[in-house]
Structure formats: structure tokens, C-alpha cells
Structure 1
Amino acid sequence: MSKATLDSLIGATAYDERGEKIGKVKQIYIDNNTGSPTWAAVSTGLFSQDSLVPLAGAEHQADEDTLRLHVDKEQVKSAPHLDDGGRISSQSEQELFHHYHVDPRAAGWNTYGRQQIRPGGDEPMTHGHRDTGSDPSMVRSEEQLRVDTESEEVGRARLRKYVVNEEQTITVPTTHEEVHVEREPITDRTGTRPDMGDEEREVTLHADQVHVQKEAVPVERVRLEVDEVPEEQTVSDTVRKERVDTEGIDDDRRRNRP
């Protein structure tokens, strides 16, 4: 379609993929190399700067003057904003690609075909241009493991009291009486009259008897105490890392450079 059809996006109401209103389209940014529309600046009313949204996968309803974007409104709220001057540097664009999870190789929006770029004073104000040649760097990303701990129940401990029978032996000191015969010769017979005949004498003997009784008495208090024991556990998982390959660079010459 014509450039006027692309220009009709200016002022259209942008919605996210769930149908929530984002804001008004204020400007379209075109890739200087491919001529494909890539980004749209949308006024959300939340910030003084416009929010940049990707046009990849967008659907334009010209009769309803709406633009349905393939993003979520929350992504737009947290997206990087335009730098002063209204231009998009290569570094800023890489941050936008990462934020919106957009493949840079499929970022162009070719619904209206490629545009003819005519740099100069007659350049249409509705089209912006990103700076593609000023920054030769790229962002290399990698996944890192983030580990935290959470206390969870792994078992239960309980006290249970029960009765068992056991033999207990106690040594008790006792006494008993025994009889022995003592004989004492009589040397002074004065006053002693012999009495011939039968006669008997007796004594009462005593002995300690042991009586056993049982009595329940408290002997100790038992409770459960929980101790926290420090230890170390090793966790592992697979992470992804981006690698950077070079083309057209003489590695030997670069290593030998003084």
C-alpha cells in the first residue's frame, strides 16, 4: 500500500494482545537498512516520554483506526523509553528486543511493504529512523542460577510413654537374734542351795522381717527440643549462555598486536 496508508497509523489507538487500551500512536520508526517499519512510539499518558512498542505481529484495523499489538500492556509500562532527541540507538534497540522477547531477524512489519527512505530536510515527520551504524557492540546474555531455601515439613517426632516390667533388687540391712550358751563356774557356794530335779528356761528370739511396697514417684521430666543443624547441599541445573563468533577478523593479527 502507499505511504499514506502507513501514515494513517499516526493517531490510531493501540491495544495490547488482550484488548486492553495502551494509548495513541504518535510516530513510526523504520529500519534504515531494510525500510521495514519496526517500532511505534505510543503516548500512554503515564510518562512524559513516549513508550516504544514493537510492530512485529501487529494488526491494523484502518476502518476502526486501531492497532492491535502482539505485546502485553504490562510490558509496555516497564519498557525503556526514547532517549532525548527521539532517536533509537543500536544499544537501546537491543534492550528493547530483549525486553519484548523479539527476534531482531524478524522484527520488521511488512504489512505495508518496505518504505523508501529519503534522508534529508523533506523527510516525513511521521517517520523516525533508528541509528544503525554508531554502535558496533551487542549485548551477550546468559542464564544464572538463583537459589533460595524454603522450610518445609519433612517428618514428625513425638514422645510416647508406656509401661514395662523389670526386676529390681535392693539389699536391705536386717538383724535377728540367736542364742548361745554361756557357762560360769561357781566358786563361792555360800548361799547357793543345790536343787536337784528337772527344770527348763526359754528366751524369745526376734528377727527383722522385710515388707515390700510399691510407690510411684516422679523421677525426670522429658521434653522435645528442636535443634537447627547447619549443613550444605549441592544443586545443579543446566543454564544457557550466548556465545559470540566473529567473521572477517584476523585473530592471529589481533593477538600479536602490540
Structure 2
Amino acid sequence: MQTEIRNLLDCHVIGSDGQSIGKVGQVYLSDRTGEPEWVTVRTGFFGMKQTFVPLTNARRSGDEIRVPFDKEMIKGAPNIDVDGRLSLEEEAELYRYYGMQPSNIPSQRTPMGERQARTAAGEQRIADERGRRGGMTGQTGQTTGQTGQAGRPRGRDVGDRDIDMTTSEERLRIGKESRESGHVRLRKYVETENVQEKVPLSHEEVVIEREPIKDGEPGTYEIGEDEQQITLHEERAVIGKETRPVEHIRVHKERVQHEETVEGQVRRERLEVDEDGSARERTRNRRGDDLPPKR
């Protein structure tokens, strides 16, 4: 347990909104179980203020403690002195603020700093030994107190006064946290492909036309050599390239809302009425929905 407390003192508290609240200042243990139940977080300028945060439903990952409350709620917690013991009234006030219903608050909570953590194990062994001895009287080993039917403890008799009892129930308090779910990268690369296109081309060809002369008259034509030439042309395909934009791509984020079903276990108190003697016939239940049927 000493090692666990020292490890908690080195942790940072992270809220359900993913924001860092601060470093753990002190650890408060349950006097009933000896387990860490509350931690104080250093907040404010220069970490001078310490705020209580419950460890119920908290998750530890490495040197981080993630709690199901956001930063604003933790900063607004009741201002309670962290130098002394956490009284029952102070703890009940904290539970009410965080919307939690403790099943039992047996005694005051003691703050555990680094020096006190070294003696925690020895004190826990003494508390366990006292717990094993508690409830036993004399050498007979019998438990004290009266029991009723089927070994059930008999309640105290209040005489002719009305019986008044309050039932409580737990409710889920759902928080949210932000975490990474993936990355999207946009990169551009170059690929080469062969392209074929048909291009119409033209060229010049020589056409020789001969026309015979009939009954030619003699003239001053001289016989001799002669040479003339004509230039021919043709078209050839010339390949050139140009670059032009063809598409624009933009990647951005948008928040999409969805619903998720969260399950958890909660406890609620029920009332059970035991009747004996002639009282069974005279009892009237004005709110039958709140009580179980008579047995």
C-alpha cells in the first residue's frame, strides 16, 4: 500500500474533458478499508489551492488519473482545509457536490502525504486486527445484541412514536472524455502512363501528267538538256507537354453527433415491513407501490 500511495502522489489528474487539472497533493484513505478514497489536486495560480476529487470510477493510466468530472466542476468544489482530517460533514458535502451517494461513511478520513505513507501498512494491520476482534464479548465468542425471527437483528423499540425512515438510491453520473481515434494524411505522388492519340497529318506527293501533242508544227525548238525541280512538304507529329490543374482537394474535420448506450450498476434502498401478532390484520399500506407484499 505504501508503494501505491507514493505512486498516486506522482500522478496528474485529467478531467473528463481531457484537460489537465493538476498534480496530486495528498491522498486520503478510508479508515474502514484502508484504500485510497480521495485525492487533493493542486489548482489555481502556482498550485496554491488544493481541491478534493473522489477516486470513485477513476481510471489510472501510467502517471495519469482520469476522473469522470470536467475541469470546471472540479475547480468549483467546496473549499475544505486539507491540513486536518476530513470530517463526516465535509465528506458528505463533497459527495453531494459531485452528485454521489455514499453507501456508508464510517469515520473521518486521514490525509496521507509522502512521510505518512511509510507507516500506513503498519496502521492498517492494527486496524484489521481490531476489526477481527470487534463484536466479540468474553470467552464465549458469542456476538452481542438481540436477534429476532430467523436470526435477524431486532430493531430498537421507539414506543408509541411514528416510525420514519428515508430510502436512497444511486444514479449514474455520465461524463465524457476526448481521445484520439485516428489520423488522416493527404499526400501527392507522381505516376507515369503511356498515352496514345491519333493525329491527322498531310504530305505532298508528285503527280505527273502527260499530254501528247498531235500534228505539232515545227518551230524554233532546240534540242538540248534541261533540269527543273519542285520541293515537296509533309507534316510530322511533334510532341509537347504542358501542365494545368485538373482538381482541387480539401480535407477538414467536422463533429458528428451519435448516441451510445452506457451501462452501469446502481444501488437503491427498499423498505421491508415485518408484522407480528394482531398488528398484521390492522396495518394499512397507503402507498402500496413503495412496499413489497406482506409475507
TM-score normalised over the length of structure 1: 0.40
User: Highest Rg: 1 or 2?
Assistant: 1
Higher-RCO chain (CA-CA 8 Å, sequence separation at least 6): 1
Structure with greater helix percent: 2
